[in-house]
Amino acid sequence: MKLYTALWALLPLVSARKPSWVPANDNTNNGKKPDDVGPPDHAGIPDFVLEKFREKFGVKPGSNIPSQKLGQDNSVKFPDGTTVSLDGLAPVEVFSKGAKCWDGKAKVHCPEPTVFSKKENDGSKVLVAKDKDGKIKSIRLKKPNGKSETLHAIEEETDTFAYIPDEAMDEEFFSRFTMEEKTKENVGKNVRRQLRGVSDQDVTKKRHLQAACTQYREIELAVAVESSFCAAVGVSQVDAKVQSIVADVAADYEQDGLCFTVTMVHFEKHCDSNNDPYKPGVQMNQSGCGGNGLLDFFEDYWNVNRQGVHRDVAQLFSGTGLECDGGSCVIGCAYVAATCKETFGAYGVNYVSYTTNSVSQSQLVSHEMGHNLGANHDSSSTNYIMYPSNGSNNRYFSPQSIASMDVARNELCLDFAGVPPPPPPTTTTPSPPEGDFLVEIQVNHDNYPEETSWSLTDSNGNVLASQSTNSGIADGTVINQNVPIAAGEYTFTINDSYGDGVCCSYGTGSFSVNVGSTTVLAGGAFGNSATVTFTVYANGDVCIGTDCGPTTTQPPPTTTTTTTTTSTTPPPPTTTTTTTPATTTTTTTTTTTTTTPAPTAYTVDVSVTYDNYPSETSWSLKNVASGATLLSQSTNSGVARGETVAADTSVAAGVYKFEINDSYGDGICCSYGQGDYAISVDGKEVQVGGDFGQSAGVIFTVGTPTLSISSISGAKGSVLEYAFIPPAGTSSVSCSIAGNNGDADLYVSFDKANTIGGTSGGDCVPYVGGSNESCAASQFPTIGDVLMVSIHAYDAYTGLMLTCQSS
């Protein structure tokens, strides 16, 4: 018996079709009496199967195969002389001698052609078992209710059972075999809401890491594409899509502890539906995983027509749903532990186009290949690739799956892929060529350096130094590089293809960029990317940001200044005063002060704790003036449920925008997990939240005395959030809104939690009609660290101007 397993997903209902291998009336006798059976009707049986039988039985090509040869006679004779009537049975599947059988330990050659039948009147199935010599040993009738009835059996046990459809498996009949039945995760239309609220299992937040691989085994992968897949992804995109999926699958199998490499050794595509050899299998009955399905068709076709293709695993990419029932569909199925067996059976079928998410597509293929290599379903965590249903979080093979696949890895049928290349030195410090200044770049990699890339470019876009992904760097390697530069503007960018930065879930990596004593940018938990633009002046001073001006313009001086003031009011007690006899006092004061320069860089911290559906959440931090994205995290980025992602970046003075979105529209708190987020600047909290619906965010200032936003519009009931951080030394502030339509209300307060939805009150809430309101400096009793500003739309408005100033 061959074991296969299926992967399910929620998909639109596909109407059931009648198996095309079965005559439309399911009636072999065509109304004739049993003793008047004519030649068998071979309609629907693929020609390559019939030709195999014709060859075996010496029948001329194209002619009918005698009924007796196909098992369509009315009785079966056993070695003990007993006959069993098969009246009313119609053949539904026929296999050549190349079919696989199961001897309790492994698949072996089936010694004789094998017939599977089903009873036409009630859907019962007949299971025919043969011994290793090809003699029929038993026939059992499997009823639709799951019970089975023995039609006849030889007393001595048989060692070999013919391959049968998995639906017909009978626990009693096959109890002496250690096997796993097919798992159907039959999720309903409301699966998403049903699953939400279920207590979460603890999930592993770290990728599974074992000892680094000292030897790899190569999996030679053959890929076939059928016409409905071409139609789904677009004919012109097929090659690129397949290459992308295979590359991602290879990355899944190269993780430490698994030690496989994946090489695509054969690729064929059949985009013309009129000449697609797999079309009959696709059209059979939408099954794919059962006895009359695409998986078995794919196997039989390749075992006959692709014998010359050397491969370890073969996968079919399809654009058609499998076994759809009540809104749920099987999206993939494969034979388990089928690699490295005497008779090739390592096949899988993948309904790749069930989603457009490239991560989920590659995970599906990795999942089915995992079955071929011996891994069963692992329901212990949704993070595991072998989880029974596919999702964007299925990123890693569990220790259990890795152990199961070790059996295949140790088989001699898989070629050695060689010893992995030696890692580069732990530190690289090249001697810099001559230059006016040095940019010192240090990157301390995490456990996945192949995901990290970075570059330093000048104002013309020329790359001065860089590192690409998959550059062969060992885990935890520290890279030090000094880049000589002249005065000018430069941009440093660091990216992580997985979206988790270089810290802190999978290693404690970090990076820093310094020019002299100035740290231009530093961090680790930066999500997808972090970038900074900076200018180095001829005198060595550094300005961080995009509005620094030409290098001939020096930054503001940081020197000691002397000021002379004349006043008609008495001076402070510490001032030297000269008084004349006149009635008006004139005071001349000479004051020497040391001005503390404003910082050239500020640190923005973002912390996001995800709910139970992290694949729905995305966020970004952007520079409002340039539109550049400084930090971000996309949806479907592989973050675990309940995981906290902390990111930080150094920024120059300016205005910035943080925005967070939830694609499902329920925020990250509080129905399906206790998620939250927080943004701060140099430790000053700007905004916190969690229960925000579809989106939330805040526009905030950093190191600038003015916040000025124009062309603001808002629908009735909307709330927009702003945060004004007065520079050090601020003694008074004021805010105002100005508009000529609608009714916008200004809410302003100091040192009150700026949670989503705005404050219900504040230090200043004018609450007057129209859209012109202001809060003067005198209305604030104290000046705090952060001025929270929100605009509430009592009625819709457009073209509004918001201005906040400090002095």
Feature table: binding site for Zn(2+): 367, 371, 377
SS3 275: helix
DSSP characters over 11-22: ---------TTS
* CA dist., res. 186 & res. 193, Å (int): 15
Determine the Cα–Cα distance for residues 507 and 444; give it in Å rounded to an integer. 10
- Residue 702 carries which DSSP code? E
> What whole-number distance in Å separates Cα of residue 542 and Cα of residue 410?
57
What angle in degrees, to the nearest 10, is found between the helix axes of 358-372 and 238-253? 60
H or E element, residue 372: helix 358-372
Q: How many Å separate Cα 123 from the centre of its chain? A: 42
At 472, the amino acid letter reads G
DSSP string, 338-360: -TT-SS---EEEEEGGG---HHH
Active-site residue identified among 93, 120, 368, 773: 368
Q: What is the dihedral of CA 47, 50, 54, 57, to 10 degrees?
A: 170
The β-bridge partners of 703 are none
Q: Enumerate residues 6+ apart whose C-beta is below 8 A from 127.
A: 116, 139, 140, 141, 142, 148, 162, 164, 168, 170, 173
For the CA atoms of 369, 373, 377, 381, the dihedral, rounded to the nearest 10 degrees, stands at: -80
d(CA 792, CA 720): 7
Contact (Cβ atoms closer than 8 angstroms) between residue 781 and residue 733: no
Distance CA 108, CA 101 (A): 5
Per the annotation, binding residues are 367, 371, 377
How many CA atoms lie within 13 Å of 442's alpha carbon, on the beta-carbon side? Answer: 13
Q: State the virtual CA torsion across 56, 62, 64, 68 in degrees, nearest 10.
A: 10
* Burial category of 240 from C-beta neighbours within 10 Å (exposed 0-12, middle 13-18, buried 19 and up): exposed
Spatial contact of 336 and 373, defined as CB atoms under 8 Å apart? no
- CA-angle at 369, arms to 366 and 372, nearest 5°: 155
CA distance 324 to 443: 49
SS3 of 718-745: the string is CEEEEEECCCCCCCCEEEEEECCCCEEE
Query: Which CA distances in Å does 693 have to 608, 636, 638?
Result: 15, 18, 22
Contact 694, 756 (CB under 8 A): no
Q: What is the 3-state secondary structure (H, E, C) of 44-57?
A: CCCHHHHHHHHHHH
Of 389, 338, 411, nearest in space to 4 by CA = 338
Is 616 catalytic? The answer is no
Residues labelled catalytic = 368
